[in-house]
């Protein structure tokens, strides 16, 4: 897409690693040089990587809070309306709005809304749904390979120089330009 523009930003450089410590040191180096990280692929959540890479903390807890609050409100509204307005029934001479007895159901619906809501939002934000084709830049990324994409800017290390730098940090293979798909990494 960008290749037709003459003064476009330099091509991204991709590197494949097979050890998480190599990946972590390469990411730290790339960050030290002030280069932008396009993305990182890993087969498992590497402890501390988001801190080294400087990725923004997820704000999913806010989503859960909003859905949880919605659950509480819905649960209280449902129980109040059914037992105090729609058809009040005397149960053990409790008041119509016997809210302490409503707490267990309110708690359960809070958990249900917060849990289901955060999963649905997570799947939506991450563009995950049944039948979606996985976009894997290299092979082995769900097994034991890590991939790091770096976007150099003008005036920083780029191209072959950047690729060499990543190889010095233990990259098995480097690629200048966007990966076309299942490049052989094994």
Partner 1 sequence: MAESTHLRQPWILGAKTPHQVTEDVAGLLDRRPTVLWWSALTASFLALAVGVVAVSYQLTTGIGTWGLNKTVGWAFDITNFVFWIGIGHAGTLISAILFLFRQKWRTSVNRAAEAMTLFAVMCAGIFPVIHMGRAWLAFWVIPYPNFRGPLWVNFRSPLLWDVFAISTYFTISLLFWYLGLVPDLASLRDRASGKVRRFVFGILALGWNGSYRTWIRYESVYLLLAGLAAPLVVSVHTVVSFDFAVSILPGWHTTIFPPYFVAGAIFSGFAMVLTLMILARWTLGIGEYFTTRHVDAMCKVVIATGSMVGLAYITELFIAAYSENPFEKFAFLNRALGPYAWAYWIMVTCNVAAPQLLWFRRLRTSLPFVFVISIVVNIGMWFERYVLIVTSLHRDFLPSSWSYYTPTVVEVATLVGSFGLFFTLFLLFCRFLPMIAMAEVKGILGETSHD
Binding-site member from 43, 159, 177, 181 for partner 1 (CB under 8 A): 43
Angle between helix 99-125 and helix 60-80 axes, rounded to 10 deg: 140
Which range in 4-12, 34-42, 154-162, 166-174 contacts partner 1 by CB under 8 A? 34-42
- In the chain, DSSP assigns E strands to 13-17, 36-41, 146-151, 173-176
Q: Is residue 87 at the binding interface for partner 1, with CB under 8 A as the rule?
A: yes
127, two tokens: 């563009």
Which range in 5-13, 130-138, 159-167, 173-181 contacts partner 1 by CB under 8 A? 130-138
Binding-site member from 9, 33, 116, 160 for partner 1 (CB under 8 A): 116
Q: Which of 134, 132, 124 lies closest to 181, judged by CA? A: 134
Binding-site member from 8, 33, 54, 61 for partner 1 (CB under 8 A): 61
Q: Report how far residue 152's alpha carbon sits from residue 163's, in angstroms, rounded to the nearest whole number.
A: 11
Q: Compute the Cα dihedral for 55, 56, 57, 62 and give only its sign.
A: negative
Query: Other CB atoms closer than 10 Å to residue 83's CB: what's the count?
Result: 20
In sequence order, the β-bridge partners of residue 173 are 16
* Residues of this chain, 142-171, that bind partner 1 according to CB under 8 A: 142-144
Q: Is residue 173 at the binding interface for partner 1, with CB under 8 A as the rule?
A: no
Q: Is residue 64 at the binding interface for partner 1, with CB under 8 A as the rule?
A: yes
**Contact positions vs partner 1 (CB under 8 A):** 39-47, 49-50, 53, 55, 57-58, 60-61, 64, 78-79, 82-83, 86-87, 89, 91-92, 94, 98, 101-102, 104-105, 107-109, 111-112, 114-116, 118-119, 122-123, 125-136, 139-144
């Amino acid at each position: 897409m960008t290749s037709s523009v003459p003064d476009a930003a330099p091509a991204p450089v991709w590197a494949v690693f097979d050890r998480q410590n190599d990946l972590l040191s390469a990411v730290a180096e790339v960050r030290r040089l002030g280069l932008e990280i396009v993305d990182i692929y890993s087969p498992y959540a590497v402890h501390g990587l988001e801190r080294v890479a400087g990725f923004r903390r997820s704000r999913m807890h806010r989503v859960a809070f909003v859905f949880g609050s919605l659950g509480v409100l819905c649960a209280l509204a449902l129980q109040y309306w059914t037992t105090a307005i729609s058809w009040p029934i005397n149960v053990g001479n409790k008041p119509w709005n016997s809210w302490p007895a409503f707490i267990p159901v309110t708690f359960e619906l809070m958990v249900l809304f917060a849990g289901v809501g955060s999963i649905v939002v997570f799947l939506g934000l991450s563009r995950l749904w049944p039948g979606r084709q996985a976009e894997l830049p290299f092979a082995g990324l769900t097994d034991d390979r890590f991939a790091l994409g770096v976007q150099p800017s003008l005036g920083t290390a780029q191209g072959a120089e950047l690729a060499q730098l990543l190889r010095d940090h233990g990259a098995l293979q480097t690629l200048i330009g966007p990966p076309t798909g299942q490049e052989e990494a094994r």
